[in-house]
Amino acid sequence: MNVVTRFAPSPTGHLHIGGARTAIFSWLLARHFGGKFYLRIEDTDQERSRQEYTDSILASMNWLGLEHDGEVAYQSQRLGLYSGYVDKLLASGHAYWCDCTPEEVEAMREEARSKGAKPRYNGRCRELGLGPGTGRAVRLKVPRSGAVSFDDLVKGHISVDASELDDMVLRRADGAATYNMAVVVDDAEMGVTHVVRGDDHVNNTPKQILIYRALGLTEPVFGHVPMILGPDRQKLSKRHGAKAVIEYQADGLLPEALLNYLVRLGWSHGDQEIFSRPELVEFFDGTSLNGSAAGFDPEKLLWVNAQHLHKIPAAELALLLVPFLLEAGLKRCEAGRVARCIPLFQTRSSSLKELAEQLMPVLLPAGLLLSQKEAVEKTLPADLREGREHVARLREIFAKVEPFAQEGLHAALQKYVADNGLKFKAVAPPLRVSLLGYMGGPDLAAVMEAIGRPETLHRMEHAATGHFKFKNPVEGK
Ligand code: GLU
């Protein structure tokens, strides 16, 4: 099946999750059928369109891995094309010149309203046979009867009476084509076969179909996806934790996870929740789209992210973590060392940012390790020699463990506890605080193996001799 889709954002803001989801659906549909996916920036509204938003949308698409075919199309560079098509419609008698002023049109609308009818243009210039002239717009001669119907991929059969529709403006008096005209020309010129977009556009579709028909072109298949709502079923907003795609990137979400979450929000494949990108491409064929509005759930998104995060090989994850580690304050980031430490925390975190924060205590050099004052004071108080002594004696023991690996370290620790008739909990907390600076965290032998012998001994020496640097208790967690 020949499938050509497109994503056509207006650069009036960053890419948000609603837009991202339509982009993803369009991209998947094209990739599933081995077709084409185009990107078109609808930047004709000069007042609201901004280059920075175009850049941000492109960056978000790139981050999400929604690569497009061909060059990005900009509507602002195609104005002549739209006008040419309007001229075709004039020549074929499907459109006419209109010299009604905006005030006159408003008066017609008002009159219709006062009669309880739908506010509309009354067709005054339709049969006047006016030619070009300043201040004249061009309108479509909408058939007075008949139905405009289409089978929506999401919403099913939709039918509107042509008589319900206005003789819409195709080209304004200032020469600029209207939105519906431009979209039809672009989609037709690009050979788009499937238009997937938000259902805020569903009312435009019958109008666009009439333009296709007037131009003698076959209309594409349409799919209008419902809005994403907040968990309270209200319009999604910041207060629901909804963010722009670039913000999720900064929060340490994985593009695969956002992709997975957004597709599932409005599409299903049995009861599978976690999908890899290739699986989505394989399973998504434009069917099984949900017609009712989906509720956004930030916690579920984080859960989906965690599922993806836990599967990434450490070496790959180390590279993804670099910006987050630098952001967290690490000055030098050695990929091998990061990769060795990742398994300690990987399944304990839900985002790259969280994982980077958890890794900081093991990646910072001993002298820079910031400890929790409270944990140190509780487990290694200056006036209580015991905890520090355990650390000092264990340090001598660990210095000789060969190889310096989890199993041997664990056995050495057990032996020390048994030989001295101690309880494990008398020894583990001081050791933990000397290695990590806080209570809790992963298995100690695993931590030691990951950070290596020199660093382990260095940290234990620091602890035994009381050289701690403390976190600011206000900032410190
Ligand atoms: N530019 C429109 C928007 O951002 C999309 C139009 C379309 O997909 O047909 O809402």
pTM over 0.85, yes/no: yes
Tally of residues, the chain? 477
Residues 95/131, Cβ–Cβ less than 8 Å:
no
257: CA distance to ligand 1 center in Å? 25
Ligand 1 atom index nearest CA of 7? 8
Task: Tell me the CA end-to-end span of the chain in Å, nearest whole number.
Answer: 56
- Which atom from ligand 1 is nearest to the alpha carbon of 22? 8
The letter for the amino acid at 173 is A
Pocket of ligand 1, candidates 37, 201, 205, 212: which has the most ligand atoms within 8 Å of its Cβ, to mutate? 201
Q: What is the number of the ligand 1 atom nearest to the C-alpha of 9?
A: 4
Using a 6 Å cutoff on CB, does residue 11 contact ligand 1? no
Q: List the beta bridge partners of residue 38.
A: 6
Our CA dihedral for 29, 30, 31, 36, rounded to 10 degrees, sits at: -170
Query: Could you tell me the distance, in angstroms and rounded to a whole number, from the CA of residue 10 to the centre of ligand 1?
Result: 6
The alpha helices in 330-452, defined as continuous H runs, are 335-345, 352-363, 373-379, 385-398, 406-419, 424-436, 444-451
For the chain, domains (ranges, CATH) are 1-77+226-311 (3.40.50.620), 78-225 (3.40.50.620), 313-363 (1.10.8), 368-475 (1.10.10.350)
- Residue that is written with structure tokens 């913000």 in the block: 247
Q: Which atom of ligand 1 is nearest to the CA of 42?
A: 1
Average pLDDT over residues 202-207: 97
CA 279 – CA 267 distance, rounded (Å): 14
| pLDDT-based confidence at residue 294 (cuts at 50, 70, 90) | confident
Is 331 an annotated catalytic residue? no
Q: At residue 26, does pLDDT exceed 90?
A: yes
What percent of the chain is predicted at pLDDT more than 70? Answer: 99
Closest CA to 301 of 277, 273, 325: 273
Residue 250: CB atoms within 10 Å: 15
User: Minimum mean pLDDT among 232-236, 279-283, 457-461: which range?
Assistant: 232-236
Q: 110 alpha carbon to ligand 1 midpoint, in Å?
A: 29
Atom of ligand 1 nearest to the CA of 187: 9
**pLDDT score at 473:** 53
| Rounded distance between C-alpha atoms, residue 64 and residue 256, angstroms | 7
pLDDT band at 263 (very low <50, low <70, confident <90, very high): very high
CA of 76 to the centre of ligand 1 (A): 14
CA distance 184 to 201: 13
84 is written with which tokens? 């040419």
CA of 467 to the centre of ligand 1 (A): 61
Rg (CA), the chain: 32
Distance in Å, CA 151 to ligand 1 centroid: 19
The mean pLDDT value for 114-127 works out to 93
408, HSE (Cβ side, Cα atoms, 13 Å): 11
Closest by alpha carbon to 443, among 455, 431, 453? 431
Neighbour-count burial of 201, counting CB atoms closer than 10 A to its CB (0-12 exposed, 13-18 middle, 19+ buried): middle
In the numeric block, the tokens 């695969």 are attached to 256
> Is the CB of 42 inside a 6 Å radius of any atom of ligand 1?
yes
Give yes or no for residue 183 CB within 6 A of ligand 1.
Answer: yes
pLDDT digits (tens, 9 = 90+) for 41-75: 999 988 999 999 999 999 999 999 999 999 999 99
Residue from 10, 56, 205 to probe ligand 1 pocket by mutation (most atoms less than 8 Å from CB) = 10
Residue 99 clears pLDDT 50, i.e. is over it: yes
Is 201 close to ligand 1, i.e. is its CB under 6 Å away? yes
**Model confidence over 174-200: pLDDT tens digits?**
999 999 999 999 999 999 999 999 999
Mean local confidence (pLDDT), 295-304: 94
Collapse the DSSP code of 95 into the 3-class scheme (helix H, G, I; strand E, B; otherwise coil) and give the result. strand
Q: How buried is residue 419: exposed, middle or buried, by Cβ count under 10 Å (0-12/13-18/19+)?
A: exposed
Ligand 1 contacts CB of residue 10 (under 6 A):
yes
Tell me the helix, strand and coil percentages in the chain, rounded to 5.
50, 10, 40
Summarize pLDDT for 208-222 with one digit per residue, the tens.
Answer: 999 999 999 999 999
Distance 444 CA to ligand 1 centre (A): 55
Mean pLDDT of the chain: 94
Instruction: Determine whether the shortest distance from the Cβ of 197 to ligand 1 is under 6 A.
Output: yes
pLDDT digits (tens, 9 = 90+) for 386-437: 899 999 999 999 999 999 999 999 999 999 999 999 999 999 999 999 999 9
pLDDT on residue 153? 95
Q: Whose CA is nearest to atom 6 of ligand 1?
A: 8
Q: Which two tokens stand for residue 473?
A: 């208790």
Distance 165 CA to ligand 1 centre (A): 20
Q: Partners of 157 in the beta sheet?
A: 151
Question: How far out from the chain centre does Cα 328 lie?
Answer: 22
Q: How much is the average pLDDT of 318-338? A: 93
Predicted local confidence at residue 474, as pLDDT? 52
- Return the pLDDT at 289: 92
Evaluate: CB of 18 within 6 angstroms of ligand 1. Answer: no
Nearest alpha carbon, ligand 1 atom 2: 9
User: Which ligand 1 atom lies nearest to the CA of residue 204?
Assistant: 9
* Annotated catalytic residue within 238, 331, 423, 425: 238
Q: Which of 211-215, 230-234, 277-281 has the lowest mean pLDDT?
A: 230-234
- Determine whether 174 is exposed, middle or buried from the number of CB atoms within 10 Å of its CB (0-12, 13-18, 19+): exposed
Which amino acid appears at position 208 of this protein? Answer: Q
- Residue 9 beta carbon below 6 angstroms from any ligand 1 atom: yes
Whether the CB-CB separation of 141 and 93 falls below 8 Å is answered with yes
